[in-house]
Amino acid sequence: MKTELENFIEKVKITIKNNDFIQDDPRLKRKTYSLIGHRIYFEPGRVLSYLKETKPIIKYRQDWERMNDTFRLACRELTNNPDSRRAVVLNTQDYDEIYPCFLSIQIAKDKDGKFNVMVYQRSGDIEKMKDDLVFFGYVMKKFEEMLNIETKHLAVVYGSLHYDVNLK
């Protein structure tokens, strides 16, 4: 039986297919269904709870290590000014050498005083979406632990959301 998250990802895949165009991906030698400029928003509930409680897979360790300094700076910024809009975690400072799929994570308060996490993901492959979302949930949980706060929403903005045309 499919989980709520798997059902959600399947719906995203259908959205891509219905609003897509086929794009060449010469680096990976494939063609993809691609959707440019898409946003996904998670409200509090079972899916967001699952994302925060699931441990990310090992491949995200390098991302976390690259982000650790700016994560601490973002936490310090919010400790000094909880209303700051400058609490941003960067995935790399060597963009000409590393092309991370997600570039930044921002945490900020909304009009109700609740903290929300926003991610900008340059490139999102549907095959890796679950793992990416789990990692973003992990970062949300780290913010909660470091700042003794509760996060409310997760928003992910994709520059390109895609999947291989050969996938069913």
Alpha carbon distance, N-terminus to C-terminus of the chain: 18
Domain edges within the chain = 38-159
According to the model, what pLDDT value does residue 31 have? 92
According to the model, what pLDDT value does residue 62 have? 86
Could you read off the pLDDT of 80-94 as tens digits, one per residue?
A: 999 999 999 998 766
Contact 158, 40 (CB under 8 A): yes
Bridge partners of residue 115, in order along the sequence: 109, 151
Could you read off the pLDDT of 114-155 as tens digits, one per residue?
A: 999 999 999 999 999 999 999 999 999 999 999 999 999 999
Question: Distance between CA 150 and CA 145 in Å, rounded?
Answer: 9
Residue 97 above 90 pLDDT? no
CATH 3.40.50.720 assigned to domain 38-159? The reply is no
Question: Distance between CA 32 and CA 163 in Å, rounded?
Answer: 5
H helix count then E strand count, the chain? 4, 6
Question: Distance between CA 112 and CA 65 in Å, rounded?
Answer: 32
Question: Distance between CA 115 and CA 1 in Å, rounded?
Answer: 33
Residue 168 above 70 pLDDT? no
Q: How many other CB atoms are there within 10 angstroms of residue 96's CB atom?
A: 6
pTM of the full structure: 0.91
Residue 96 above 80 pLDDT? no
According to the model, what pLDDT value does residue 28 have? 84
If one compares 166 and 95, the residue with the highest pLDDT of the two is 166
Which of the four pLDDT bands, split at 50, 70 and 90, describes residue 20? confident
Residue 1 above 70 pLDDT? no
Residue 95 above 90 pLDDT? no
Contact 43, 15 (CB under 8 A): no
The overall average pLDDT reported for the chain is 90
